Structure 1
């Protein structure tokens, strides 16, 4: 089986053996509830290293790949998680629109076997589409651990479609599932249905022999009546029964697209609740017949959640866990950092010695050693800390804890006019603001999405960590971890306070119910953690080799050249620019032209603040503790104190996000006006809060 994968919207690209043109083609769509294992299954087939986490909302758009198997070139599509085909959020609309299109040959419904009752609701909706469906029964290992059993003979009898047990994580059952999809691609009618019902109904047709989901007599009469009206008006419609159900539910899209006259006597109201109730009644019947020993073993998840999701303990536990994460980030990271520091020092010395022996010009030696190596090398020094932070976040995500944070934050977010689901993008912001902004698609309301996009950049991303490590290490050597941790807490508080202010001025007040899956706690997968950390490290190294490399060279040039040409830094273009903007930064304790210039450069990428800092101060070796101590002493003599250093970190936390985040805000909002407002809003908040801290602090200390 060979594979290739094409990832849309900036996702990493993986490509394997070329596809032979003569092979027949088909498209298989993976759909299912959030966190059911769709992306893991997609990765298992294609070899792609897409992000997988044990919480909902990881896939925010459809991802496409392809494999060659069973004589077919099979297009695979991983769709965003959805609980039903009644779409509310942007990602649910993506899934529904693709499933309803003519592009799909077979639907693979990925089901979490440990949560069969919840997952089957979407399954019943998919069966009503009249398209080929194959059920992939995933996570059977959790079922076995609970002491439960699922009757794999009875379940396909009741659903009328193949049910294939698989383990996406352990790559079991993959070939059988693919074979079933290929074999089933032309089956638009259900296989043999065996229900414990009477064959006699009050309807013209015996629906129990046609459909897996059969409603009450009154509802079936209503469906038949609407279906006949649709058939008369739209004879070419591919599935009159499904469209009739949507009209009965008063689905806005179907109602607008296929209006039917003379239907008021049948549809006097929306029957969506009635249909949902009857579906779950049938699901209960399925569970009763196919699940054995359902309550034989209580899940350990429930015991742990008594504490982690407790109303009073949940938030303190979250803060304590994050404190442990930052303790490990600093304690272990600093121990490993020494080896990186020595390597950068050695590289710089070798480069300087080699260039000198070759008779290179002093300007070239300065560019390589004081510009490139000092800038890029300074960023690479913090790689151990970044690795540990991402490793800890990967463990928390894959274990299933992160969705609990959204749950415990629900009450607070409700008071701010949002649901706890809005906290999920904010949590993602601890890693990177770009996917965090994209994750706002999971919110149903456009207003909620815009508000979340506005405040998410306040959450401290990993790119800001080098700034905290540098300044807290120089000016707070004995309390560096506590100072850096305070930045993360302040980011959360400022984001929540901004939401509160927006809610106070909003004329629209509404209740925000939270519907979110709390997945099973599980042992984090080594492969998943590895993929997560490696992708983040690659991104970090990529920025070091591109954006930061270019910024270091640019910074060196504007600091070594001025109107008079190559010369003293004090007369350079950089000094002229920095001194021009000092009046803006002076009231917040950052009235040093080098600091001002570094902050401006940091708009390209937040790590550039650190690389620029190394170049700005005559190529200072920020990898050497002794050099940093000397620099801190020199800056202190110039009036740059601990208060100034704290204000530097605070402003770096809150001011304009990086260029990539700004571009993502525009891509998600489709508005330059909103993007400009977001940038101005973040500058204003950063300046005002830093001003308050500096002015109060300067009077106290």
Structure 2
């Protein structure tokens, strides 16, 4: 069984090719950094394994996810490399290809997006490219699977030949430096000495650290400094890494000139015409907000609520009645009946009714991602992000955070500078994740029936605005530093494949269903037990339960922000474990058999103003337990983890206070 590493630039269709070759599904998006850790699948036609590594532009890492690749090359064992190259962007893509050739492992190129290149009037001679590089080159269209079988057959072939000579002559100074490193290692290393030397000269810190296991630091410094000085003298003052880049660039330009031709008079691609509108300085942001509004209208008004009502009717009707009849037949005790009906069915069922809305939202987010639009959103937001001490790349983890804050925080690994990476990690939990969506759906259905989409959109926008304001504040105070330059490649617009679109939606939504069936189930049982027991014994009145006592301790603190009840306090506490648990807690607390649904009962406990204040508090207050754990894992700091919890709680209370008390002054209470 062979281990094959899959590498390529971001937006070359690498993960789509991974799915096609292995039959597996991994998250696909049109920006750098979606894949932040290696993912492994098995080829359809044999047992060889394909390892999907992060999309990178170079093997000399700038960000954490690029460091994953270097560490993999240095410390993991694998047999060969599959490099996916965008046929329409060869000059940029071949920078990585030449570095992979220097690594001196068997290598195959999958030349992807030949259809896009053809539409742009570009024709690539794959046989000539293969001849020049001395490696197999297979044209493919990863999105449709065309050419993938031939590629799989070639890449899993056990017989591979390595390039017979070096592709690039870097000049006598660097070539001498490579020979000196070879003499210093004295055959002790298992990797290509040429690759190690070039990466060292380019400033790859991971390679330098690796070499320090074989060579003392002072000798490494002397080699690098002497080579740098020789290059400066012989190459008119050029720096070491600059010369390496220029030599590769000259080689690539010559290769591209020989293997590709472009028809004159080719019309500008349609995507460029669309981009002139959707990334326009004035129109870009309103277009994004309009699309978000339409998405929420579909989620809450046109599709989501009717489907949720149908599911609610099924759970509250046939399912509940069926369980009740079974319990009667089995002669279950009153304790078991109450546990199952008042605890499990009310708690878990109250969360599951929102599954249609969750899946509809994820479907349209996946549609925007797979079509290529989300990369444009990052570009549009860059102007705002730059003003607050970040850049457009930081908005990508935040957008991922709309689905779940945990992968959003992990996606911050793609950000190069430590200051911006930490800032993004701290702010991403302010993005409204899908777990908060059931809370919004519950309250807008009860209090804002005519303006559901607008109210929910206001919460998402509020989270972004608060994040931008705090980014500016933190950048000026606790996290000072320079803002990096934002560079992003805009992929061509694509009509998403429905199968991939459904898999993407299911991949995002299944965690919600899984959580309802496991974590929320266990939480509902625990919450019900707290409501069933009290200081005086079992089967007590709800107001005399342990749950009421716990929530009641928080009620005075919540009075200034509009919801001074033990029920609200108890719900907020369980929300720290998972935001969906707020719904299951409320269903258990407010559950009254054969009475109005939860939305009908809430109007007795909340005013519309208090309801909006409550939703704002849910949006901003402490992240869930999984998010807090991820913040700690990514920062490695207890201080920043505690800070992320404390500042979010403070901001949530302050804004809810302003909204509720300000609304009262305006006569809205």
What TM-score, normalized to structure 1?
Answer: 0.88
Distance across 2 between alignment mates of 1:308 and 1:133:
39
Distance across 2 between alignment mates of 1:102 and 1:162:
24
Question: Is 2:178 the counterpart of 1:223?
Answer: no
The match for 1:266 is 230
Cα deviation 1:115-134 (Å, max 9, x = unaligned): 22221111112112222211
- Note if contact 1:132-1:184 (Cα within 8 Å) is conserved in structure 2: no
The match for 1:430 is 402
The match for 2:527 is 555
More helix by share: 2
Q: Mapping of 1:346-425 within 5 angstroms?
A: 346=317, 347-356=319-328, 358-425=330-397
- Note if contact 1:132-1:185 (Cα within 8 Å) is conserved in structure 2: no
The match for 1:537 is 509
Quote the offset at 1:551 in angstroms.
Answer: 1.6
Distance across 2 between alignment mates of 1:275 and 1:285:
16
2:294 to 324, 330, 345: 324
Question: Is 2:663 the counterpart of 1:697?
Answer: yes
Distance across 2 between alignment mates of 1:52 and 1:493:
27
The match for 2:235 is none
Distance across 2 between alignment mates of 1:250 and 1:327:
51
The match for 2:589 is 616
The match for 1:62 is 38
Where does structure 1 differ by over 6 angstroms across 4 or more consecutive aligned residues?
A: none
Distance across 1 between alignment mates of 2:431 and 2:525:
29
Quote the offset at 1:286 in angstroms.
Answer: 2.2
* Structure 1 residues 334 and 401: alpha-carbon distance in aligned structure 2, compared to 1, 3 A threshold: same
Question: Is 2:89 the counterpart of 1:120?
Answer: no
What SS does the corresponding residue of 1:522 show, helix, strand or coil? coil
Cα deviation 1:513-561 (Å, max 9, x = unaligned): 0122211110011121111111223211111111111121111111121
Question: Is 2:305 the counterpart of 1:341?
Answer: no
- Note if contact 2:4-2:80 (Cα within 8 Å) is conserved in structure 1: yes
* Structure 1 residues 699 and 620: alpha-carbon distance in aligned structure 2, compared to 1, 3 A threshold: farther
Question: Is 2:274 the counterpart of 1:301?
Answer: no
1:35 to 1, 8, 11: 11
The match for 2:646 is 680
Quote the offset at 1:351 in angstroms.
Answer: 2.5
Distance across 2 between alignment mates of 1:264 and 1:137:
36
- Note if contact 1:374-1:619 (Cα within 8 Å) is conserved in structure 2: no
Distance across 1 between alignment mates of 2:491 and 2:327:
58
Q: Mapping of 1:185-200 within 5 angstroms?
A: 186-190=160-164
Distance across 2 between alignment mates of 1:390 and 1:424:
16
Distance across 2 between alignment mates of 1:575 and 1:250:
61
Quote the offset at 1:665 in angstroms.
Answer: 1.4
- Note if contact 1:614-1:620 (Cα within 8 Å) is conserved in structure 2: no
Gaps of 5+ in 2: 233-237
1:586 to 559, 562, 582: 559
The match for 1:212 is 167
* Structure 1 residues 160 and 570: alpha-carbon distance in aligned structure 2, compared to 1, 3 A threshold: same
Distance across 1 between alignment mates of 2:44 and 2:35:
24
- Note if contact 1:213-1:282 (Cα within 8 Å) is conserved in structure 2: yes
Quote the offset at 1:385 in angstroms.
Answer: 1.0
- Note if contact 1:62-1:79 (Cα within 8 Å) is conserved in structure 2: yes
Cα deviation 1:611-642 (Å, max 9, x = unaligned): 11111113467xx9x5356414432xxxx311
- Note if contact 2:368-2:374 (Cα within 8 Å) is conserved in structure 1: yes
Farther off after superposition, 596-605 or 294-303:
294-303
Distance across 1 between alignment mates of 2:444 and 2:427:
25
The match for 1:194 is none
Cα deviation 1:167-210 (Å, max 9, x = unaligned): 333333334323333447652334xxxxxxxxxxxxxxxxxxx2
What SS does the corresponding residue of 2:597 show, helix, strand or coil? helix
How many residues end up aligned between the 2 structures? Answer: 645
* Structure 1 residues 557 and 134: alpha-carbon distance in aligned structure 2, compared to 1, 3 A threshold: same
Farther off after superposition, 368-377 or 59-68:
59-68
The match for 1:15 is none
The match for 1:456 is 428
What SS does the corresponding residue of 1:479 show, helix, strand or coil? helix
Distance across 2 between alignment mates of 1:482 and 1:445:
36
The match for 1:232 is 183
Gaps of 5+ in 1: 1-24, 191-209
Distance across 2 between alignment mates of 1:211 and 1:294:
32
Farther off after superposition, 464-473 or 164-173:
164-173
Distance across 2 between alignment mates of 1:140 and 1:578:
61
- Note if contact 1:620-1:627 (Cα within 8 Å) is conserved in structure 2: no
Distance across 2 between alignment mates of 1:568 and 1:254:
66
The match for 1:518 is 490
What SS does the corresponding residue of 1:634 show, helix, strand or coil? coil
2:248 to 279, 283, 301: 279
What SS does the corresponding residue of 1:128 show, helix, strand or coil? helix
- Note if contact 2:106-2:161 (Cα within 8 Å) is conserved in structure 1: yes
